[in-house]
Amino acid sequence: MIHVDVLTWVDACLAGAGRARSGAVAQVRDRPWGRVWAVPTDHGTTWLKEPAAPVRFEVALLATLARLQPRLGPEVLGVHEGARVLLADAGRTFRDLYAPADLPGPFTAALVQVGALQRSAARRVPDLLAAGVADLRPAALPGRFDELVDGLGPEPVRAADARAVLVDVCEQLARSAVPASIDHNDLHDANVLRDGTARTVVIDWGDSVLAHPFATLLVPQRVVADAVGRNVDHPWDVPAVAAARRAYLAGFEPLAPGEDLDRTARLAVTAAHVARAWVWRRALATLDAAVGAPDDPALADVAAGARGWLQLAIDALTGEDSAR
């Protein structure tokens, strides 16, 4: 049950936005990494979100993104002490709106908008770090890889080989003309929505990290490859994926020539597997602390996800596929 003080705060936020609660608040999600309530109002459903401590940075991050590019993130109706946020409804997901064959065009357009946000957010790196966004910039990434290896225990020889390559990749990324920025880290077609005004909205920023911005291409290239019926584990040269990548990178061309950007993107996507595995490992630690039962099925699923992404990272770094 939601506390009366929280309801009072919700009602005050709604009033400030010219809205009023019109029915009972219903909890729709209760997970170790956060809780969500649906709040019916006279202007549609709003969403109360309380992230768990390890991902509570999302509250401050959403407020920052709303200032940088207010039309891309969900509309923020209220923020309370960095612990909860009230959001307007963002519409329907692209996964629901588009048949797979129709998805690449609008999804690519959304990816271009994310690139514009990243260029703005690059000027706010100190604010992002202060908000608690995890640092997975190139200089920090080898250390994060070590954390993964210590926690998940992959085959040591291959892990050592992968780390040596990762260090070289990160040194090249650190010399990139493109500065670090926010990486959504889970930019798929159920996290991109279209609202009633045809505005594209990107939600669920709780997996975000601070990284080379091109790392954000990792998940979208798999989404586009899947939409056109191609192997998601080998997406780099799929024509629809290459077209989406070119459209995204075009916004960065004032910083470097297109060929340089494409080479940098390949490096960033290779390194991004490590960040993706690290985010899964963070979710595993959060779930483990909450559940405390090693045989819990949810724990096993998240552990498998973390190990799976670490294996993909090692494969990518050791030459199985340098741009998976």
The residue assigned the tokens 């129709």 is: 102
Last residue of a domain, one of 88, 115, 136: 88
Pairwise pLDDT comparison (263 vs 234), residue with the higher score: 263
Residues 52 and 114 in one domain: no
Residues 74 and 162 in one domain: no
**According to the model, what pLDDT value does residue 300 have?**
84
Alpha carbon distance 211, 218 (integer Å): 12
Q: Which domain holds residue 263?
A: 93-317
Rounded mean pLDDT of 302-315? 94
Q: Answer yes or no: is pLDDT of 257 > 80.
A: yes
8 A C-beta contact, residue 219 and residue 230: no
pTM (two decimals) = 0.94
Tokens of 279: 């985010």
Residue 268 belongs to some domain of the structure: yes
Residue 277 belongs to some domain of the structure: yes
Residues 196 and 139 in one domain: yes
Alpha carbon distance 131, 80 (integer Å): 14
Residues 41 and 111 in one domain: no
Q: Answer yes or no: is pLDDT of 284 > 90.
A: no
**According to the model, what pLDDT value does residue 293 have?**
56
Residues 184 and 277 in one domain: yes
Last residue of a domain, one of 88, 111, 136: 88
Q: What is the mean pLDDT of the chain?
A: 94
Q: Choose the weakest-confidence range: 49-53, 91-95, 135-139.
A: 49-53
Residues 38 and 109 in one domain: no
Residues 146 and 232 in one domain: yes
Q: Answer yes or no: is pLDDT of 113 > 60.
A: yes
HSE, side-chain direction, 13 A CA sphere, residue 189:
23
The residue assigned the tokens 């192997």 is: 231
Last residue of a domain, one of 88, 121, 139: 88
Pairwise pLDDT comparison (296 vs 324), residue with the higher score: 296
Residue 322 belongs to some domain of the structure: no
Residues 204 and 277 in one domain: yes
Q: What is the pLDDT of residues 192-242, one digit of tens each?
A: 999 989 999 999 999 999 999 999 999 999 999 999 999 888 899 999 999
Residue 132 belongs to some domain of the structure: yes
Query: What confidence tier does 244 reach under pLDDT thresholds 50, 70, 90?
Result: very high
Counting the structural domains of the chain, the total is: 2
Rounded mean pLDDT of 306-318? 95
Closest by alpha carbon to 127, among 64, 203, 52?
64
CATH number of the CATH domain containing 22? 3.30.200.20
Residues 122 and 269 in one domain: yes
Q: Answer yes or no: is pLDDT of 260 > 60.
A: yes
